[in-house]
Amino acid sequence: MPEAKGFGKRKTPRSKDPVSLGSVIDGLMAEQVFSRGMPVASLASRWTDVVGDRLAEQTEPLALEAGVLTVGATNGAWAAQVRFMADEVKRQANLALGPERVRLVTVIVRNRRSQG
Closest of 67, 68, 65, 56 to residue 37, by C-alpha: 65
The pLDDT value given to residue 75: 96
Q: Helix or strand or coil: residue 72? A: strand
Give the number of C-alpha atoms closer than 13 A to the C-alpha of residue 94, restricted to the C-beta side: 15
Residue 103 has pLDDT above 80, yes or no: yes
Residue 87 has pLDDT above 60, yes or no: yes
Domain at 100, CATH number: 3.30.300
Q: Is 84 exposed, middle or buried (0-12, 13-18, 19+ CB in 10 A)?
A: exposed
The pLDDT value given to residue 114: 47
Instruction: Let me know: does 104 contact 66? Beta carbons within 8 Å.
Output: no
In this structure, the strands spanning 104-109 and 68-73 are parallel
Tell me the pLDDT tens digit for each residue of 1-27: 455 555 556 667 777 888 888 877 777
- Residue 99 is part of which domain span? 37-109
31 within some domain: no
Least confident among 25-34, 41-50, 74-83, 92-101: 25-34
The pLDDT value given to residue 104: 97
CA 83/CA 90 separation, integer angstroms: 11
Average pLDDT in the chain: 83
27 within some domain: no
Q: How many domains are contained in the chain?
A: 1
Per the DSSP assignment, residues forming a β-bridge with 11 are none
2 within some domain: no
Q: Helix or strand or coil: residue 60? A: strand
DSSP H or E stretch at residue 70 = strand 68-73
8 within some domain: no
